[in-house]
Amino acid sequence: MTESDLQKLLGTSDPDRGCDESGALMDEYCEAVLRGEGSSAHFAEFCAHIANCTACREDTESLLALLREQDSTNPG
C-alpha cells in the first residue's frame, strides 16, 4: 500500500471550502496557472479541494487545457 493509495481513499486534512466556493475560484486559478502564479497562497484551499475532489479536479484540468489551447491558437 502506498501513501497515495490511502490519501486517495481518505483525502487530506488540509482546509477545503468544498465544491461551490472552490468552483467560484476555478477560472481565476486557471488563468493564474497560465501566468505561473498557481502556487500562490491565495489558491491553497482551492488546490486542497481539487486534490480531494475528482469531479472538480477534472473540470479544472479541462478549463486549463482549453485556455492553453486558446493561448496557442492566439499567441500574444
Partner 1 sequence: MTTVTLDRESAEWLRDLQDDGRSREHAVARLHALMLRVAHREASRRRATLPGRTLEDVDDICVQAASDALMAVLAKLETYRGAARFTTWACKFAIYETSTRLRRHAWRQRKVELDDTIWDRLADASPPALQRLENDQLIAALYRAIDEHLTERQRLIFRSAAMDDVPIDVLAERLGTSRGAIYKTLYDARAKLRHALIEAGYGEQERES
Query: Mutual orientation of helices 18-34 and 54-73 as an angle, nearest 10°?
Result: 30
23 binds partner 1 per the rule CB under 8 A = yes
Binding to partner 1 in span 38-67, by CB under 8 A: 52-56, 58-59, 62-63, 65-67
Using rule CB under 8 A, residue 31 touches partner 1: yes
Applying CB under 8 A, the residues found at the interface with partner 1 are 1, 5-6, 8-11, 13-16, 18-20, 23, 26-28, 30-31, 52-56, 58-59, 62-63, 65-67
